[in-house]
C-alpha cells in the first residue's frame, strides 16, 4: 500500500485521491512531529500561566468574553465537539470523509495549532485502519470553519458518534475498538484546532474538481463522437485560428478535438456547400475551453487551500503570541466552488444542444429521433427530455451559494461563506452533467450507425475507441427498449473513467 508522509509541506490533488479513494496510508513525518510537539507544549504553558487566549482559556464565539479556568480547559474542548455535532441529512460519501481527515491532518501538521502529536496520530490511525467517521452533509455555514461536519469527524476519535468500519455503520467507540485504536481525551485547544477549518468544503470540492477535470476530457470525446455522426466541419478547430484568441482552454479544446477525430473519414472540411456548423459544434473550443480555464482557476485555489492553516487562533511561538484571526473563513474557496458548478453546467448545456441536433430531423440528415421506425417506435425522443431536465436542474443549482450570508453566534460571526453548500452543489451539478454527456455518447453512437452517407467509413482514432467501448456495453437501438438499462451501463463507464482512459491509451493524454 502506498504511503504519504506529511511533514507540514505540500500535498497535491493526486495525494487526496490516493488517500480518499485508493487506500494510501498516511504517516506524520519526524519534522512535522517536532513542530507539533513544540507547539502543544507552548499551549500547555499558556494554560499554566493563565494567559487569556481565545478558545484556550475563553469560551467560543460570543462566549469569548467568558474566562475558563485551568481545571475546565479539557472539558471545554470535549464539550465543544459534542455541542457542535449538529449535522443533518445523509452522510457524506466515504471518500469525502477520508479526504476531510487527510486534509485536517495536513493542516494541523504545520505545527502552529497547538494540538498534541498523540491526538493527531489517532486521526492518522483512523485513516490507516479504515475507521471512517459518519458525517452528515448539511449544517455548515462555512465561516468559523466547517464546525458541524468537522465535529462529526472528531466524534469517533473521542469514542462517540458513528463510523464506518469494514463496510458497516456502527457506534464510533465500537469502530475504534474493532480497529484497535484507543480514543483520545482532548486537552487545551485541541477541540478548537480540530473543527476550526475549511476541510469539509475543501474535501468535497477537491473531489468534484478531480472528477470535473476528467469530465472535461470526456466532453471533448463526446463532442468528437457527435462530430462524426453529424459530419462536422473540422476547419473551426485549426490551430492558427485559435492562436489569434489564445485562451489556454480554448487552444486545448481545439487541439483535443482534432486529436480525437484524427484520421476520420466521416468529418469534413468547409466548402461552398458546407460553410459552417451550428455553434454547438463550431464553438466547442470556445465553450469547452472556457470551462477548462475555470477548472484551472479552481485548481489553483484548491492547491492553496489544501496546503494552508485554517484554524484559530494561530500560535506563533517565536513571538510568544497567539493571533486570533479569520483563517477559517471559507470565502476564498466558496466563490471558486460556485464557479466550478457553473463551469460544469455549461459543459452539460452545450452537450444537450448537441443531443438535440442528433435527434431532431430538422437539424440534421439523420432519421428523426435516431430510429429507423419512427412512429411505431420513439427511439431517443425522450432521452433528449431527460437531458433537458438535467440541464434545467443544474441551472437552479448554479445559483451561487457564496452570495448568501446569515449572521450567527449573536452576530459575532456576522458574515459567512456558505462554501460547503457551494461545494456540494458543484458535486451535484457534476453528477447531472455526467449523465447528460452519457446521453450524448449513446445518441452519437446511434447517429454514426444510422448515417447512410458515412456507413463503412473509418472513424477517427479517438472516436473509434470511444465508439467501440460504448458499443461493447450498449447495442445499436432497433426496436424500442428500456433505455435506462443502456444509460446505467454507459454511466458505469463514465464513473470508472473507462472512456477517457481508452481514448488516451490510443491518442495520448488529452
Just list the catalytic residues.
54
Q: Which of 357, 309, 344, 354 is nearest to 329 (CA)?
A: 309
Residue listed under C-alpha cell 461493447:
472
Q: In what order do the strands lie in the sheet with 132-133?
A: 132-133, 162-165, 168-171
- Name the DSSP letter for residue 377: B
Burial class (CB in 10 A: 0-12, 13-18, 19+), 507: buried
| 37 membership: H or E segment, kind and range | helix 30-48
Alpha helices, H only, 109-231: 117-129, 147-154, 172-179, 190-195, 199-229
Angle at 134 between CA 6 and CA 306, to 5 degrees: 30
Count the Cβ atoms, other than its own, within 10 Å of residue 282: 17
What is the rounded CA–CA span in Å between residue 385 and residue 359?
11
| 145 membership: H or E segment, kind and range | none
Q: Which of 129, 131, 124 is nearest to 102 (CA)?
A: 124
CB 460 within 8 A of CB 263: yes
What is the rounded CA–CA span in Å between residue 133 and residue 121?
15
Q: Which of 99, 332, 333 is nearest to 207 (CA)?
A: 99
- Cα 492 to chain centroid distance, Å, stands at 18
What is the rounded CA–CA span in Å between residue 418 and residue 400?
9
CB 57 within 8 A of CB 46: yes
Instruction: With H, G, I as helix, E, B as strand and everything else as coil, classify residue 317.
Output: helix
Q: Which of 225, 188, 37, 176 is nearest to 118 (CA)?
A: 37
Residue listed under C-alpha cell 420513439:
378
| 298 membership: H or E segment, kind and range | helix 284-305
Residue 6: φ, ψ to 5° = -100, 120
**3-state secondary structure string, 379-438?**
CCHHHHHHHHHHHHHHHHHCCCCCCCCCCECCCCECCCCCHHHHHHHHHHHHHHHHHHHH
Amino acid at each position: 500500500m502506498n504511503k504519504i508522509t506529511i511533514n507540514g509541506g505540500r500535498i497535491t490533488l493526486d495525494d487526496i485521491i490516493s488517500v480518499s479513494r485508493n487506500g494510501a496510508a498516511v504517516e506524520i513525518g519526524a519534522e512535522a512531529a517536532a513542530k507539533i510537539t513544540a507547539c502543544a507544549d507552548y499551549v500547555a504553558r499558556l494554560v499554566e500561566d493563565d494567559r487569556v487566549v481565545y478558545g484556550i482559556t475563553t469560551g467560543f464565539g460570543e462566549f469569548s468574553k467568558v474566562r475558563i479556568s485551568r481545571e475546565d480547559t479539557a472539558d471545554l474542548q470535549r464539550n465543544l465537539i459534542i455541542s457542535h455535532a449538529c449535522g443533518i441529512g445523509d452522510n457524506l460519501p466515504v471518500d469525502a470523509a477520508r479526504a476531510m481527515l487527510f486534509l485536517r491532518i495536513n493542516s494541523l501538521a504545520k505545527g502552529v495549532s497547538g494540538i498534541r502529536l498523540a491526538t493527531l496520530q489517532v486521526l492518522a490511525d483512523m485513516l490507516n485502519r479504515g475507521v471512517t467517521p459518519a458525517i452528515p452533509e448539511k449544517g455548515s455555514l462555512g465561516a468559523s470553519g466547517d464546525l458541524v461536519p468537522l465535529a462529526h469527524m472528531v466524534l469517533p476519535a473521542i469514542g462517540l458518534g458513528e463510523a464506518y468500519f469494514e463496510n458497516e455503520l456502527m457506534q464510533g467507540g465500537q469502530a475504534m475498538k474493532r480497529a484497535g485504536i484507543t480514543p483520545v481525551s482532548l486537552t487545551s485547544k485541541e477541540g478548537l484546532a480540530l473543527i476550526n477549518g475549511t476541510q469539509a468544503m475543501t474535501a468535497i470540492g477537491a473531489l468534484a474538481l478531480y472528477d470535473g477535470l476528467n469530465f472535461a476530457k470526456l466532453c471533448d470525446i463526446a463532442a468528437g463522437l457527435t462530430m462524426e455522426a453529424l459530419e462536422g466541419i473540422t476547419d473551426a478547430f485549426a490551430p492558427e485560428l485559435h492562436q489569434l484568441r489564445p485562451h489556454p482552454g480554448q487552444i486545448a479544446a481545439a487541439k483535443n478535438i482534432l486529436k480525437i477525430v484524427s484520421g476520420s473519414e466521416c468529418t469534413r472540411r468547409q466548402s461552398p456547400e458546407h460553410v459552417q456548423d451550428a455553434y454547438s459544434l463550431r464553438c466547442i473550443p470556445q465553450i469547452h475551453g472556457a470551462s477548462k480555464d475555470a477548472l484551472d482557476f479552481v485548481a489553483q485555489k484548491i492547491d492553496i487551500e489544501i496546503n494552508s492553516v485554517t484554524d484559530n487562533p494561530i500560535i506563533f511561538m517565536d513571538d510568544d503570541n497567539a493571533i486570533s484571526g479569520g483563517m477559517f473563513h471559507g470565502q476564498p474557496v466558496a466563490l471558486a466552488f460556485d464557479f466550478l458548478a457553473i463551469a460544469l453546467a455549461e459543459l452539460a448545456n452545450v452537450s444537450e444542444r448537441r443531443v438535440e441536433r442528433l435527434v431532431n430531423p430538422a437539424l440534421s440528415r439523420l432519421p428523426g429521433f435516431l430510429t429507423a421506425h419512427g412512429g411505431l417506435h420513439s427511439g431517443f425522443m425522450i432521452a433528449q427530455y431527460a437531458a433537458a431536465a438535467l440541464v434545467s436542474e443544474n441551472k437552479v443549482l448554479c445559483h451561487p451559494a457564496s452570495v448568501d450570508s446569515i449572521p450567527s453566534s449573536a452576530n459575532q460571526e456576522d458574515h459567512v461563506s456558505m462554501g460547503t453548500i457551494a461545494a456540494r452543489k458543484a458535486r451535484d451539478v457534476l453528477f447531472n452533467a455526467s449523465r447528460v454527456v452519457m446521453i450524448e455518447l449513446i445518441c452519437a453512437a446511434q447517429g454514426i450507425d444510422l448515417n447512410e452517407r458515412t456507413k463503412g467509413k473509418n472513424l477517427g482514432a479517438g472516436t473509434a475507441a470511444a465508439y467501440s467501448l460504448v458499443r461493447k456495453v450498449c447495442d445499436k437501438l432497433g426496436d424500442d427498449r428500456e433505455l435506462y438499462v443502456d444509460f446505467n451501463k454507459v454511466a458505469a463507464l463514465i464513473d470508472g473513467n473507462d472512456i477517457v482512459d481508452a481514448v488516451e491509451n490510443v491518442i495520448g493524454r488529452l
